[in-house]
Structure 1
Amino acid sequence: MARTARIPEPVPFSTINVTPFIDVMLVLLIVMILSVPVMRHKVPIDLPRDGTASAPETPHKLAIDRGGALYWDGAPIGDAALPGALAALRADPKGVLHMQTDPEARYERFDAVLAAVKRAGIERLGFVGNRPLED
């Protein structure tokens, strides 16, 4: 005698599982929270305007060799004399500072020199290549 099992037909349910939707919404909320401050961050940069005739610049070169020694326009300069040279550069309206650092120089030294440049109020600053300084 064979018995048959009666399997009930599936009944549709009227509720939706909202847990995945909540998870997606929380992830999107976190992405928005993290990205909004980045989008609002601004770095002020003074760019030249079109049509303005610029005066010829007087570039001065500040170099740091791999040992950390400083050179101002090719001549050795000490740390004590650097603020005076930077103050003279700042007084010149056509003065521009070009910094060249040997790739083997220590970052701490570069950071200290750049902090001295910032303290001197130099606004016209450019960085020159990554080639080693010529002896």
Structure 2
Amino acid sequence: MQVQNETKPYDTINVTPMLDLAYVLLVVFILMTTASVQGLSITLPKPSNKPSTEKHELKIVQVMPGGQLMLNGAPVSAAELEQQLLAAKARDAGLTVAIKGDGRAHYEPVVQVVDLCNKLGLNMALVTSRIGS
């Protein structure tokens, strides 16, 4: 019996050992991940106060490009705005004022509305729009 010593180049690559290794690594990662998650204990902080379920009044003050003021869509002067906000605060102490300053408006009228809210002791929020909107 003769053994022929022919050296042929391989046409294909045997990927079976590489797939076996990949499956073993996958199983190891799955087991390690589930084991670490099950053993993880987290102590979440407790809230310092109860969430508020109260409904409070919201007033929207708009500062238009020319400096005009609008309260919930109705034009008002600065004196009328102060009177209406005082009356609303008397009805609801938790009143919130949302201030919407137009991008073309001067800065001074917006600051005056912020100062008025500070003077009256009101909660306030500055409303902005997204960039590109």
Match of 1:121 in 2: 121
Contact 1:60 1:73 survives alignment (8 Å): yes
Q: Give the structure 2 partner of residue 27 of structure 1.
A: none
Once residues 125 and 87 of structure 1 are traced to their aligned partners in structure 2, the CA distance between those partners, rounded to angstroms, is 14
* In the alignment, structure 1 residue 65 sits paired with structure 2 residue 64: yes
CA distances 1:41-75 after superposition (whole Å, capped 9, x unpaired)? xxxxxxx9553332012211011011110000100
Q: Deviations 1:5-63 (Å, cap 9, x if unpaired)?
A: xxxxxxxxxxxxxxxxxxxxxxxxxxxxxxxxxxxxxxxxxxx9553332012211011
- Give unpaired runs (5+ residues) of structure 1: 1-47
Residue type matched to 1:76 in 2?
Answer: P
Tell me what 1:104 maps to: 104
Deviations 1:79-121 (A, max 9, x none): 1211111212322134211110101110112112221221122
Distance 1:50 1:71, change over 3 A: same
Stretches of structure 2 that go unaligned for 5 or more consecutive residues are 1-46
Shift in CA distance, 130/103, structure 1 to aligned 2, threshold 3 Å: farther
Match of 1:83 in 2: 82
Structure 1 segments of 4+ aligned residues over 4 angstroms from their partners: none
| Structure number with larger C-alpha Rg | 2
Q: TM-score, normalised by structure 2?
A: 0.55
State how far apart, in whole Å, the 1-side matches of 2:83 and 2:48 are. 31
Counterpart code for 2:111: D
Distance 1:56 1:107, change over 3 A: same
Q: Which residue of 1 aligns with 2:32?
A: none
Where 1:80 maps in the other structure, the secondary structure is: helix
| 1:31 corresponding residue in structure 2 | none
Is the Cα–Cα contact under 8 Å of residues 100 and 130 in structure 1 kept in the other structure? no
Structure 1 residues 121 and 94: alpha-carbon distance in aligned structure 2, compared to 1, 3 A threshold: closer
- Higher helix proportion: 2
* 8 A contact 1:66–1:103 mirrored in 2: yes
Q: RMSD in angstroms over aligned alpha carbons?
A: 2.0
